A and B are shown apart, each in its own frame.
Chain A
Amino acid sequence: MRALARLAWLYASRTPVQTAIVSVGVAVSLALLVTGRVLISRAEMSLTARAEAVPLVAGAPGSRFDLALALLYFRPTPIAPMTMGDVEDAATLGRGVVVPVHASLTAGGDPVVAVGYEFFEQRALAAAEGRFPIRLGEAVLGWDTARRSGLVVGDTFRTDRRELFDLSVASPIVLRVVGVLAHTGSVDDGAVFVDIQTAWLAEGILHAHAAAATLPDDQIQTRTERSVVVEPTSRTERDVSAAEQADVHMHADPRSLPVTGALVFPASDKDLTILQTRLNGDGRLQAVRPVALVRELFDVVFRLRPVLDGVTGLLAATSIAMIVLAAVLAARLRSEEFEALDHLGTPRSFVIGLVVAQTAINLLLGMLLAGLLVAGAAWSLDRWLGV
C-alpha cells in the first residue's frame, strides 16, 4: 500500500502538467456542480439572518422587494421616499423603535447609508476603531470599506457626484472618518454610515451660510454687510466644519424630510402585528416583514429545483465520463511503465491500484481546487455586490 501510494504520488508530482490538467478539469466540473447550490444556500442563510434581524421595514407603497433590498441590503432601487413625519408618527405609536434609513448617496461606489443613531444600537454594531458619528459630516466606515479604501480615522473623503449636468442637484460633501465598524460578515461591512441629517445636508436640504462668506467673488451674486447671495451655479464641495454646524438650518418642514424608509424594531410580537396593521392601514405606507418576504422569495426559487437537479445530474454524468476518460488516457500514456512493471513481476492488482491511486490523487486535488474555486466564486460575488 505504501509502495502504491509512493509510486502514485511520484507519478503525479513528476507529471505536473498532466496532473494539473486533469485536476483542473475535475475541479471545474465539481465547482460547477456545487457552486449553484452553495450560492443559493448562502443566499438563503444570508437573507434569512438579516431578515430575522429586522422584524419590519416600512416605506412608501411600491415594490416590497425593492423596499426590503434598499433598507436591508442598501441596494439602489427605484423606490419613492417616505417622510420623517411618517417615521415620527410610527414612533409615536410607542410600540417599538423606528429607525429612519436614507440610502441615496454613494462614496467611491460604496453606499453611504444615513441612519438614525438607534441603527447602531439595534443592530448591535460596535466600532473597532474610533466611534459612531456624532456630528454632521462624520462617517463610520464598514470593515471592508475601510480596508478597501485605506481610509483611517481622521481622513476625509467626498461623496460621489450624483449629476454632472443638473445644477439643481447638490454638489458632493466632504465626510470625515470618525470610526470603523467591527467586522460583521454582513452588508454593513461594505457600507459607509452617517447620521440621517448628513444625508439631508448632502441633498442640500440642510445647509449653512457661514462658508458663503469665504467664497471667492466670482461665486457671489451680491455681498452686503448683512447678507451674501451665492451664485446659483456655484458648485463647490461642501465641508461642514464644527464651527459651521451651529448655523446649519433648513427651510423645509422637518416632517417633510425624505427618507428611503424605516427599520422597525417592535417591543413585542403583539406590537409587531399592531404596527404592521397600522402602517399598512391607510395605504399611504407599506410595512413588510422581511422574513415573510424571504420565505416567499425562496418558495419561488425552490420551485425551480427540479430544473437545477436536472442540470446538476447532467453535469455529474459529464464529470464522471470525463474522469473515466482521463483515467483511460492516463493508462494508455503509461503503457510502457506498466509493461516494465509486468517484466519485473508486479502483480496486476498493483498496476490497477496505481491507476486508481492516480485517479484518486487527481480527484483529491480537483476537490481541493474546487473548494477554492467555490470559495473564490462566493468571494468574488460578495465583492461584485459590494458586500
Chain B
Amino acid sequence: MTRLVLTLACSIGVLGPAGCGDRSGSAAPAGLEQGLVITSTPVAAALLRELVPESMTVEVVVPEGADPLGWQADDAAVVRLRQAELIVFHGTGPERWSRTLSLPSSRIHLLADTVRTGLILSEEAITHSHGLGGEHSHREPVFGTWLDPAMLRPQGEQLVEALIRIEPGQETLIRANLAAWIGSLREASAVVERMRSLEPRSQLVADREGYAYLARALRLDLVDPEDVDETRPSVWFHGGIAGDDVVTLGWPDPLEWSAESRGFGETLAQRLASLEQAIAEAE
C-alpha cells in the first residue's frame, strides 16, 4: 500500500510537459574544438608538445609574461577553456585562479594526481580566524613536481592516457612520442642518481618552494634566503652573492621553464648538470 501511494504520488508529482529536447550523453558536447588542449603554464605546454601528435593544438591560457600565481582569468579565458577537449592543470598552486570558476571538470587532467602521495605541502600557510572556528590555516601542495625526473615520468605516462582518450586514433603515435620522451629523461635521471651518491653537504637556496621536489630528490635542504646557514656551502637558484662557498645558478622561475629549442628531458638534464657543477664548486 505504501508503495502504491508512493508510486501515485510520484506519478502526480513529476508531471511535466512532454518533449524535453534532451539527448543522450554519449555524443560529444557541441562547442568543443577538436584536438584543442589548453594548459596553464609554459612548463606543462612544453611537456604536452612533446607528447601530442601534430593534429592537436596546445595553448597556454595564462598570457605570456603573466605570473600564474597572481593571474585572474577573464570570461573570455574561461570560455576558451570550455572549448578544449582536454585541460591540463598541474593541480598544485599554479591554477589557484581556477578554483572558483565553473569549468568542465570531466575534461580537466591534473598532473599532480599521479604523484599525489609524493606531494609536499607548502609551509607558506594562510592563517586567519573567524566566527567560532578559531584560528586555522590553509596549506596547499607545492608546485614544481616536474623538477624531479622520478616524479615527472609517471606524470607524462598518465597524461598520455588522457590524450589517447580524446584521440584514440592517434594512440600509436602518442605512445611513440611517450617512449621518445621517456628516453630523453634518462640523462636527467642519471644526473640525479649521481648527485645523490655523492651525498653533498650543500644547501639549496630559493625564495620559491617550487624547488622542494628537486631538493628532496637530491637529499638536500631547500632554505629560504633569510634562513641560509652561512657555515654550509650554498647554491642559489637565482639571486645571492657569489663567494667561496656560494654559487649562483641564475635559473629562470620554475613556472616559466620551457623546453626552448631542446627537448624537455635534455633541458632538465642540462640544468641538473649545471646544478651538479655548482654544488661541486660550492663544496
Closest residue of chain A to B133 (Cβ to Cβ) is A251
Nearest CB in chain B: distance from A193 CB, A: 10
A248 touches B25 (CB 8 A): no
A53 touches B20 (CB 8 A): yes
Q: Is A297 an interface residue (CB 8 A)?
A: yes
A46 touches B14 (CB 8 A): yes
A267: which B residues are within 8 A, CB to CB? 26
Q: Is B198 an interface residue (CB 8 A)?
A: no
Residues 118-150 of A, flagged 1 when their CB comes within 8 A of B and 0 if not, give 100111100000011111101000000000000
B136 touches A251 (CB 8 A): yes
A249: which B residues are within 8 A, CB to CB? 126, 138
Closest residue of chain A to B130 (Cβ to Cβ) is A230
B22 touches A53 (CB 8 A): yes
Residue count of chain A within 8 Å CB distance of chain B: 77
Question: Of the 9-residue stretches A16-24, A91-99, A316-324, A352-360, which lies at the interface with chain B?
Answer: A91-99
Q: Is A49 an interface residue (CB 8 A)?
A: yes
B15 touches A209 (CB 8 A): no
A55: which B residues are within 8 A, CB to CB? 24-25
Closest residue of chain A to B9 (Cβ to Cβ) is A65
B21 touches A300 (CB 8 A): no
Question: Of the 9-residue stretches B103-111, B213-221, B235-243, which lies at the interface with chain A?
Answer: B103-111
A69 touches B26 (CB 8 A): no
Closest residue of chain A to B73 (Cβ to Cβ) is A134
Closest residue of chain A to B20 (Cβ to Cβ) is A186
A185 touches B102 (CB 8 A): no
A99–B106 CA distance with the chains assembled, in angstroms: 8
Q: Is A3 an interface residue (CB 8 A)?
A: no
Nearest CB in chain A: distance from B172 CB, A: 20
- B104-138 residues with Cβ-Cβ distance < 8 A to A are 104-106, 126, 128-133, 135-136, 138
A188–B10 CA distance with the chains assembled, in angstroms: 18
Knowing A52-B22, A69-B10, the reply to whether A381 touches B15 (Cβ < 8 A) is yes
Nearest CB in chain A: distance from B79 CB, A: 8
- A46-79 residues with Cβ-Cβ distance < 8 A to B are 46-47, 49-50, 52-55, 63, 65, 69, 72-73, 75
B16 touches A133 (CB 8 A): no
B16 touches A229 (CB 8 A): no
B78 touches A116 (CB 8 A): no
Question: Of the 9-residue stretches A35-43, A278-286, A343-351, which lies at the interface with chain B?
Answer: A35-43
B23 touches A53 (CB 8 A): yes
A373–B12 CA distance with the chains assembled, in angstroms: 18
A43–B7 CA distance with the chains assembled, in angstroms: 12
Q: Is B250 an interface residue (CB 8 A)?
A: no
Q: Is B180 an interface residue (CB 8 A)?
A: no
A212–B101 CA distance with the chains assembled, in angstroms: 22
A246: which B residues are within 8 A, CB to CB? 72, 96-97, 100
A55–B26 CA distance with the chains assembled, in angstroms: 9
Nearest CB in chain B: distance from A137 CB, A: 9
Nearest CB in chain A: distance from B200 CB, A: 38
Nearest CB in chain A: distance from B24 CB, A: 7
A117–B84 CA distance with the chains assembled, in angstroms: 13
B131 touches A124 (CB 8 A): no
Contact of A185 among B20, B24, B78 (CB under 8 A): B20
A195 touches B19 (CB 8 A): no
Contact of B100 among A49, A99, A136, A266 (CB under 8 A): A136
Residues of B bordering A, CB below 8 Å: 3-4, 6-8, 10-26, 29-31, 72, 75, 78-79, 82, 96-97, 99-106, 126, 128-133, 135-136, 138, 165
Closest A-B pairs by Cβ, 8 of them: A265-B25, A53-B22, A121-B29, A45-B18, A195-B102, A186-B20, A46-B16, A43-B15
